[in-house]
Chains A and B, each alone.
Chain A
Amino acid sequence: MTIGPPRIVFDKVSVRFDTPAGGRMHVVDDVSYQIHDREFVSVIGPSGCGKTTMMNIVAGFMQPTTGTVTLDGQPINSPGPDRGVIFQEYGVFPWLSVKENIAFGLNLRANRTSADEREAVCQRYMQLMGLSDFADAWPRMLSGGMRQRLALARAYAVKPQFLLMDEPFGALDAQTRTAMQDLLLGVLATEGKTVMLITHSVEEAVYLSNRIIVMTARPTRIREIIEVPFSYPRSEGLHESKEFGDLRAHVRGLVMQEYAQQAKQR
Chain B
Amino acid sequence: MRRAALILAPWLALLAGWYGIHHSGFVNPALVPTPHEVAARFVELMGSRLPMDILMSTQRVFLGVLCGIALAVPVGFVLGWYKTIRTFIDPLINFFRALPPIALIPLVIVYFGVDELAKVVILFYASFFAGVIVMYEGISQISPIYVRVARTLGATDGEIFRKVIIPLAVPHMLTALRVALGVAWATLVASELIAAQQGLGALIQNAGSFFQLDIIYVGIICIGFIALLMDLGLRVLARRFVSWQERIA
List residues of A whose CB falls within 8 A of some B CB. 59-61, 78-81, 83-85, 87, 89, 91, 93-96, 104-105, 107-111, 138-140, 154-155, 158
Contact = CB atoms under 8 A, between A and B. Distances in A.
Nearest to A97: B244
Contact of A93 (B146, B152, B159, B242): B146
If over half of B's interface residues share one DSSP class (helix, strand or loop), that class is named, otherwise mixed; here it is helix
Contact of B145 (A80, A83, A89, A139): A89
Contacts of B246: 140
Contact of A94 (B152, B155, B156, B245): B245
B154 interface: yes
Contact of A87 (B145, B163, B242): B145
Interface residues of B, number: 22
Interface in B51-82: none
Interface string B139-181: 0000101101111111110010001100110000000000000
A140 B244 CA distance: 8
A157 B157 CA distance: 21
Contact of A138 (B145, B146, B159, B244): B244
Contacts of B163: 104, 107-108
A107 B164 CA distance: 13
B155 A108 contact: yes
Contacts of B148: 61, 79, 85, 87, 91
22 contacts: A59-B152, A79-B148, A80-B154, A81-B152, A81-B154, A87-B145, A89-B145, A91-B148, A95-B167, A95-B242, A96-B167, A104-B153, A105-B153, A105-B154, A110-B156, A111-B153, A138-B243, A139-B244, A140-B244, A140-B245, A155-B152, A158-B153
A79 B146 contact: no
A61 B149 CA distance: 11
B145 A91 contact: yes
Interface string B229-249: 000000000000011111000
The CB with the most chain A CB atoms within 10 A, among B148, B156, B168, B245, is that of B148
Contacts of A111: 153-154
A85 to B, nearest CB: 4
A158 B155 CA distance: 12
Contacts of A94: 244-245
A39 B167 CA distance: 38
A91 B146 contact: yes
A79 B152 contact: yes
Contact of B151 (A79, A93, A138): A79
B126 to A, nearest CB: 30
Contacts of B155: 108, 110
Contacts of B242: 95
Given A61-B148, A87-B145, A108-B159, A93 B164 contact: yes
Contacts of B143: 89, 91
Nearest to B246: A140
Contacts of B154: 79-81, 105, 108-111, 158
Contacts of A83: 152
A146 to B, nearest CB: 16
A111 B244 CA distance: 26
Given A79-B154, A87-B149, A111-B154, 19 more contacts: A59-B152, A60-B152, A61-B148, A61-B151, A79-B148, A81-B154, A85-B149, A91-B149, A93-B149, A95-B168, A95-B242, A96-B167, A96-B244, A104-B163, A107-B163, A109-B154, A110-B156, A154-B149, A158-B153
A158 B153 CA distance: 7
